[in-house]
A and B are shown apart, each in its own frame.
Chain A
Amino acid sequence: MRFVTSLFVGLSAAVLLTSCGAGGEDQGTEYAPNMYHSVAYEPYTQIVDEDAGRWVTSIEYPDGHAEYFNSNKFNPSRMNMREPAANTVSRNKNGWLPYRLGKDSLAFAASHMKNPLDSTAEIIASGKALYEMYCDHCHGPKGAGDGKVAAGVKIDGVQKGNYNGVPDYKSGALKDISEGHIFHVITHGKGLMWAHGSQISPEDRWKIAKYVKTLQK
Chain B
Amino acid sequence: MSSDSRFVPLVLKTDTEPNMIKHFTSTACKFFTLVLVFALISFNNYAQEISKDPAAINAGQALFNANCKACHRVQQKLVGPALAGVYDRTPSIDWIKSFVKNSSAVIASGEPYAVKLYNEYNKTQMTAFSSFKDEDIMNILAYIKAEADKPAPDAAAQPTTGGGGQPAANAGLPSTYLNVILVGMIIILILLLIVLGFLVSALKRFIDQKTLTEEDKEVVHPTVTTGSIFKSRGFVFIVVFLTAALGFKAVINGLYSVGVQQGYAPKQPIAFSHKIHAGQYEIDCKYCHVGVMKNKSATIPSVNICMNCHNQIKTGTITGDAEIGKIVKAYETNKPIEWVRIHNLPDLAYFNHAQHVNVAGVECQTCHGPIETMDVVRQHSLLTMGWCIDCHRKTDVNTKGNAYYDNLVEIHNQSKKTPMKVEDIGGLECSKCHY
A171 x B128 contact (CB < 8 A): no
Q: Which listed residue, A22, A133, A155, A161, touches B257 by the CB 8 Å rule?
A: A22
Which one of A12-20, A55-63, A110-118, A206-214 is at the B interface? A12-20
Given contacts A10-B251, A18-B250, A25-B267, contact A167 B347 (CB under 8 A): no
The B-contacting residues of A in range 55-83, CB under 8 angstroms, are 77, 79
The complex places the Cα of A194 from the Cα of B309 at a distance, in Å, of 8
Contact A27 B247 (CB under 8 A): no
Q: Is A24 in contact with B265, judged by CB distance below 8 angstroms?
A: yes
Q: Given A7-B240, A163-B312, A173-B129, are A155 and B250 neighbors across the interface (CB < 8 Å)?
A: no
In whole angstroms, how far apart are the Cα atoms of A36 and B66 in the complex? 57
**Interface bracket on B:** 35 or more
Q: Tell me which of B1, B78, B259 contacts A165 (CB under 8 A).
A: B78
In contact, B250 and A79 (Cβ under 8 angstroms): no
**Chain A residues within 8 Å of chain B by Cβ, number:** 73
Q: Shortest beta-carbon distance, A157 to chain B, in Å? A: 5
Q: Give residues of chain A (147-190) contacting chain B, Cβ–Cβ below 8 Å.
A: 148-149, 153, 155-168, 170-176
CB <8 Å contact, B261 and A194:
no
Q: Are the CB atoms of B316 and A172 closer together than 8 Å?
A: no
**A17-B255 in contact given A137-B287, A153-B280 (Cβ < 8 Å):** yes
Shortest distance from the beta carbon of A173 to any chain B beta carbon, whole Å: 5
Alpha-carbon gap, A122 to B309, bound state (A): 30
Known: A7-B243, A28-B260. A18 touches B253 (CB 8 A): yes
Closest to B292 in A: A133
B250 adjacent to A17 (CB under 8 Å): yes
**Interface 1/0s, chain B 46-90, versus A by CB < 8 A?**
000000000000000000001101110000001100000000000
Q: What is the bound-complex CA distance between A19 and B300, given in angstroms?
A: 30
Does B258 reach chain A (CB closer than 8 Å)? yes
A45 touches B240 (CB 8 A): no
CB of B336 within 8 Å of the partner chain: yes
Tell me the chain A residues, 1-60 only, with Cβ under 8 Å from chain B: 3, 7, 10-11, 13-18, 20-32, 35-38, 42-45, 48
A residues with CB within 8 A of B: 3, 7, 10-11, 13-18, 20-32, 35-38, 42-45, 48, 77, 79, 132-134, 136-137, 145, 148-149, 153, 155-168, 170-176, 191-196, 198-200
15 additional contacts (CB under 8 A) given A30-B259, A134-B287, A156-B168? A14-B254, A18-B257, A20-B254, A27-B264, A28-B264, A136-B284, A160-B276, A160-B281, A164-B79, A165-B78, A172-B129, A173-B67, A173-B131, A174-B127, A194-B311
Task: State the B residues within 8 Å of A (CB).
Answer: 1, 66-67, 69-71, 78-79, 124-125, 127-132, 161, 164-165, 168, 240, 243-244, 247-248, 250-251, 253-255, 257-267, 276, 280-284, 286-287, 290, 297, 299-300, 302, 304-305, 307-309, 311-313, 315-317, 335-336, 338, 341, 344, 346-348, 379
